[in-house]
Structure 1
Amino acid sequence: MATIFIPNPPHHQPSHHWALLREKHARGALMLMALIALTVFLGVWQLWRAQQKSQLLAEIAQQQALPPLAWSHGVPPAWRRVQLQGQWLNQYEIWLDHRIHEGQVGYQIVTPFRLKDGSIIMVNRGWWAAGEQKLPLPAKQAPMVQVQAWPRYLSLGSSAVDGRIFQNMDPGRFAAWAYLPLPSAYAIAMQNDTGLAAIEAERPFGVERHLAYALSWFLMAMCGWFLLRRYYLKA
């Protein structure tokens, strides 16, 4: 009887299904490793942001500790207390709507101040309760202010200006509304006029938030590494 030799018997050939499983296994491992690398990168980036924010806060504290400057020309230094020299433009005062103070809704009264060189500084004079019968008193004396960064806001649509009521402190929209030059800076008054509640000077949030974000990303990376060892790197 003749013997027939088959080079690759069917039961020795790897199944197509098993090949697909191995391919999916490899792709899953690569995707998980990419995810681990991404979360580690994001964690390191948050640590770098925390260091940058710490330096910024130190610079702000240093600026705020310096004695006030008399300021009449150009853009004042950020976060510095300055005594503005020029004149108020009360006729172009605007009210920022829906501002909360001690649980009440009202307005923040922002009045432009023109320096001697013509530069415009937007000065937030304080908070005014909604529904008050009397209007805020016009600004008179040259103000002592603390220069701030421009307030950030999210605009979901172009909201129309209602008289002097604005939804946000938008320098471009204000300049177009008042037919004035584009304001060069934004500041908060250190002394408040009668009837206006004081507005606290704003500062960037501290490094704690960045550290918390970094910890979250590193924990996600650790979870990814555990899954990689558990399901893809088994012997």
Structure 2
Amino acid sequence: MYIGRAIPAVAFLVLLALLLSLGEWQLRRAAEKAPLFDQFLSGQDLPALTTPVENQWLEENRYRTLELRGRYDSSRQLLLDNMIHQGQAGYHVLTPFQLLRGERWLLVNRGWVRADPDRRVLPQIAVSEAVREIRGRIDTLPRPGLKLATAAPNEADSWPQVVLFPSIDELELRLGVPLFNYQLWLASEYPDGFVREWEPRTMAPEQHLGYAIQWFGLAGVLVAMAVVLGVTSVRRRGN
């Protein structure tokens, strides 16, 4: 008899603890994401940089605007696979950019293009190699969360090449040139780009707060149900 009564109480406590822990976890995630989004918003208000950011200063200058002169290498471009836009699968187009000064090259992300259902058919992404000025915002290369697919195989000497969450070291081997350890999101007002709706590639703090409210709300509903059931049980025993 006692064990039968204890089981619902134990189940209630376990479920309540789980819901509260999920809510607290979402609050922690919101607190972790807030500085990143603050940095993203403040980056657009700071003056544009006119010299490349050295690799060791990347984190402090993430999302800063950068203006540079140089030329694209249209013959050796990269298609970053598994990039989703409005529910559609596609690629981010990474084009090597040779600066007029300095040895290291910069990877310019010219935006998102839709993937063909036949993954062997690659998008047309040719671009003029004339000297130009570009402007964009600094960001790290995407890192994998859950890999839902694999990149299509490439011929070793065929371009563009499809890559799946590569490291800078891997890209330097492919391209045969030294690279800065970040990409540049090409500004939407500049030509020769594709779909460009740049924002941090992670859930916003507000979304985490929304989920936290949901978990805490469910915990509140659970407590209310337990109280109602408890009161009802007491009344029945009293009768």
**TM norm. shorter chain > 0.5:** yes
CA–CA separation in structure 1 for the residues paired with 2:93 and 2:206: 32
* CA displacement at 1:145 relative to structure 2: 1.7
Q: Does the 8 A contact of 1:82 with 1:146 survive in 2?
A: yes
Q: Which runs of 5+ in 2 are unaligned?
A: 117-121, 235-239
Question: What corresponds to 2:194 in structure 1?
Answer: 197
Matches within 5 A, 1:1-235: 18=1, 22-72=2-52, 74-75=54-55, 76=58, 77-84=61-68, 88-96=72-80, 108-113=92-97, 118-127=103-112, 135-138=126-129, 140-153=131-144, 154-156=146-148, 158-162=150-154, 163=158, 164-166=160-162, 168-171=164-167, 173-181=170-178, 184-190=181-187, 191-194=189-192, 196-203=193-200, 204-231=202-229, 234-235=233-234
Uncovered stretches (5+) of structure 1, i.e. residues with no partner: 1-17
Deviations 1:191-232 (A, max 9, x none): 5334x3351222354333112201210122123223433446
Contact 1:70 1:85 in 2 (8 A): no
- Given that residues 138 and 185 in structure 2 are in contact (C-alpha distance below 8 angstroms), is that contact kept between their aligned partners in structure 1? yes
Structure with greater Cα Rg: 1
RMSD: 3.6
TM-superposed deviation, 1:39 = 1.2
Q: Which residue identity is paired with 1:121?
A: L
Mapped partners of 1:43, 1:227: distance in 2: 19
User: Bigger shift: 102-111 or 148-157?
Assistant: 102-111
Residue 14 (structure 1) aligns with: none
* Aligned counterparts of 1:211 and 1:83: Cα–Cα separation in 2: 36
Q: Is the 8 A contact 2:78 2:161 kept in 1?
A: yes
Output one character per residue of 1:112-139: Cα deviation in whole Å (capped at 9) or x when no partner. 2356554443211245677877833336
Report if the CA contact (8 A) 1:64-1:80 is conserved: yes
The TM-score, its normalising length taken from structure 1, stands at 0.70
Letter in 2 for 1:94: L
Q: For this pair of structures, how many residues does the alignment match? A: 214
CA distance in 2, matches of 1:48, 1:205: 13
